[in-house]
């Protein structure tokens, strides 16, 4: 797998560093006063300070739940997902959209998922699979 790169808007370098670095546990890369890079489970994420960060999100419906569009995150092995979910549930001040849950139980593509917002209002989803070969199962 090769990593993808995503540039996303943020309000503040320090609150972004704390959330992605300390809460999510992402190693920090390069940064300036206007942008900051993180390793999000092997992918390069670049937060860029923008005055309009956190505005304009719409929603869609997934399994009867309203979820923000756009959103981003990572697909994880179940062990890693459970560790992340436990760390987030223990953290204070998490802006939950959907707390950890299991979807498609007993069906192809069974997955755990959680949704939250970062301090800039960006929506993130993290999925966990017991079998990564089921990511695209239908």
Q: What is the pLDDT of residue 56?
A: 66
Instruction: Give the number of domains in the chain.
Output: 1
pLDDT at 15 (0 to 100): 96
3-state secondary structure of 7: strand
The whole-model pTM stands at 0.91
Q: What is the pLDDT, as a whole number, of residue 31?
A: 95
Give the domain CATH number at 72: 3.10.180.10
Please, what are the averages of pLDDT over each run of 10 residues along the chain (138 residues)?
93 96 96 96 96 80 83 96 97 95 91 96 95 90
- DSSP state string for 69-133: ES-EEEEEEHHHHHHHHHHHHHSSS-EEEEEEEEESTTSTT-EEEEEEE-TTS-EEEEEEESSGG
- Domain enclosing residue 78, as ranges: 5-50+59-134
Task: Using the structure block, give the residue that is written with the tokens 């997955």.
Answer: 111
Backbone angles phi, psi at 30, to 5 degrees: -70, 160
Q: What is the pLDDT of residue 96?
A: 96
């Amino acid at each position: 797998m090769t990593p993808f790169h995503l540039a996303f808007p943020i309000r503040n370098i320090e609150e972004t560093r704390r959330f992605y670095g300390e809460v999510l546990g992402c190693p920090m890369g390069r940064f300036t006063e206007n942008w900051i890079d993180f390793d999000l489970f092997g992918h390069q994420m670049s937060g860029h300070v923008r005055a309009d960060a956190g505005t304009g999100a719409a929603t869609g419906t997934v399994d009867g739940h309203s979820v923000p569009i756009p959103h981003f995150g990572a697909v994880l092995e179940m062990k890693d997902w459970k560790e992340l979910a436990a760390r987030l549930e223990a953290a204070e001040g998490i802006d939950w959209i959907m707390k950890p849950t299991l979807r498609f139980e007993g069906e192809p593509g069974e997955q755990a998922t959680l949704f939250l917002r970062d301090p800039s209002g960006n929506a993130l989803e993290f999925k966990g699979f017991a079998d990564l070969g089921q990511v695209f199962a239908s």
